[in-house]
């Protein structure tokens, strides 16, 4: 395995499908359309409510999780893991035996959101930068300025774009110097921001923490206002996604970059770049422009669809994209699982072997997903379609709460068309066109 191998996301093409991929596209579009038709006729009042009590976990569970000792043990274990990765990466001399690229692109980028989707925003607990900040005296850790509310999640969106740019548009994304430089830049920005603005900097500007928060809105566990941890319907959790400047941008970066990842692997795009770029610098420019176009298209189409309703004034119309943004979360997670699940499972095993090599670890890697391409293709289609169906449900329920009577159905038509377009385009790109 070479470091660049991890960048070749996705396995196989349309031949993976047990049925012609055209039928999968049409079937997915019909599934989405029928879902909208059913909820439009049978779903006449909002049903998703963040204030639902849920089922509280035993008080002892919440107490254990919130205990200072528990928090420090988890944080120090994560810090020790980080140090071990750096030590092994620094001492690996054989080509393809360095674990840092796979840890960076697979465990961090895919593993953290998947864990967050199951048990909440885990990056807050395991972030090495937050652990460093918590160890400082209170007078140093509080910051010297107040974080501007007008910035919202925009710094995190910039950080997420920096990550996907390195992976998808950078001149040498798999090289150790490029990854190390990125991580050093990330550490410097996080440290400087925390020293200036305190802990709020991590909550608003850390790209991995904000990504973890996004994924956690699909977790079945969450906290009530009184701090008690409860188990409940993830759809009741979805609307709790904070609406701040940059929320839509964060989701557009995540969704648009995943779509561009599939697009950039298509032979026609690669041939175009090779024929017109004139070298590595030109190819980087082409890929950067392509990445920006995909992100901008997602942001623009979603905002236009969210605002395409009557019965609201200009001020309310401007707020609708942010208030409906949580409906994009299932779509984002669906694409992430469809696109990267096999890499998380299989490259993740390889990473553990590389990290454990100094300790003598050895076992046979299970390539179950790669060995059953029809199963893998079905999982991919299922993740995309179910993610979009969940997005339709979330958007419909939110529209019932936000739009005035008489426009609750017609105000969703544009969003429905956009989501059908996302589904069709996403599956087309996912299976290589």
DSSP 340-381: HHHHHHHHHHHHHHHHHGGGT-------HHHH-HHHHHHHHH
Question: What's the pTM value of the predicted model, to 2 decimals?
Answer: 0.89
Report the pLDDT value the prediction gives residue 77, as an integer from 0 to 100. Answer: 95
Question: What count of other Cβ atoms lies within 10 Å of the Cβ of residue 288?
Answer: 14
Average pLDDT per consecutive 10 residues, the chain (433 residues; last block may be shorter): 41 44 69 78 84 87 92 95 90 75 90 92 94 80 87 97 94 89 96 92 96 95 86 92 95 94 87 85 93 96 90 87 93 88 86 83 82 81 87 88 81 84 81 61
Report the pLDDT value the prediction gives residue 2, as an integer from 0 to 100. Answer: 42
In contact, 238 and 117? CB cutoff 8 Å: no
Where are the domains positioned within the chain?
3-430
CA distance 84 to 353: 13
In contact, 394 and 294? CB cutoff 8 Å: no
């Amino acid at each position: 395995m070479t470091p660049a191998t991890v960048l070749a996301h996705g396995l196989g093409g349309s031949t993976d499908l047990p049925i012609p991929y055209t039928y999968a596209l049409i079937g997915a579009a019909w599934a989405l359309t029928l879902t909208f038709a059913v909820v439009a006729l049978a779903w006449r009042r909002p049903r998703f409510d963040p204030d639902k009590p849920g089922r509280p976990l035993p008080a002892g569970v919440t107490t254990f999780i919130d205990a200072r000792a528990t928090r420090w043990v988890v944080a120090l274990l994560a810090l020790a893991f980080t140090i071990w990765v750096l030590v092994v990466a620094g001492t690996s001399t054989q080509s393809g035996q360095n674990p840092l690229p796979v840890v960076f692109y697979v465990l961090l980028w895919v593993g953290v959101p998947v864990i967050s989707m199951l048990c909440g925003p885990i990056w807050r607990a395991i972030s090495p930068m937050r652990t460093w900040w918590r160890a400082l005296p209170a007078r140093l850790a509080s910051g010297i300025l107040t974080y501007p509310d007008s910035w919202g999640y925009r710094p995190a969106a910039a950080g997420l774009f920096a990550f996907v740019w390195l992976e998808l548009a950078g001149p040498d994304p798999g090289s150790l110097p490029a990854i190390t430089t990125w991580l050093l830049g990330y550490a410097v920005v996080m440290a400087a921001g925390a020293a200036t603005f305190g802990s709020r900097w991590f909550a608003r500007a850390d790209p991995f923490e904000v990504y973890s928060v996004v994924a956690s809105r699909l977790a079945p566990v969450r906290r009530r206002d009184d701090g008690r941890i409860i188990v409940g319907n993830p759809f009741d959790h979805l609307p709790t996604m904070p609406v701040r400047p940059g929320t839509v941008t964060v989701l557009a970066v995540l969704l648009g970059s995943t779509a561009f990842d599939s697009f950039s692997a298509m032979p026609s795009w690669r041939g175009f770049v090779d024929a017109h770029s004139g070298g590595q610098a030109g190819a980087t420019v082409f890929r950067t422009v392509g990445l920006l176009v995909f992100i901008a298209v997602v942001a623009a189409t979603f905002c236009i669809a969210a605002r395409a309703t009557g019965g609201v004034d200009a001020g309310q119309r401007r707020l609708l994209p942010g208030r409906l943004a949580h409906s994009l979360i299932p779509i984002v997670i669906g694409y992430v699982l469809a696109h990267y699940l096999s890499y998380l499972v299989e490259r993740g095993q390889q990473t553990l072997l590389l990290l454990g090599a100094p300790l003598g670890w050895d076992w046979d890697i299970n390539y179950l997903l790669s060995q059953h391409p029809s199963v893998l293709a079905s999982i991919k289609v299922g993740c995309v379609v179910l993610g979009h169906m969940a997005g339709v449900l979330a958007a419909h329920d939110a529209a019932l709460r936000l739009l005035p009577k008489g426009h609750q159905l017609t105000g969703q038509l544009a969003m429905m068309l956009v989501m059908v377009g996302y589904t069709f385009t996403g599956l087309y790109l996912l299976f290589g066109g």
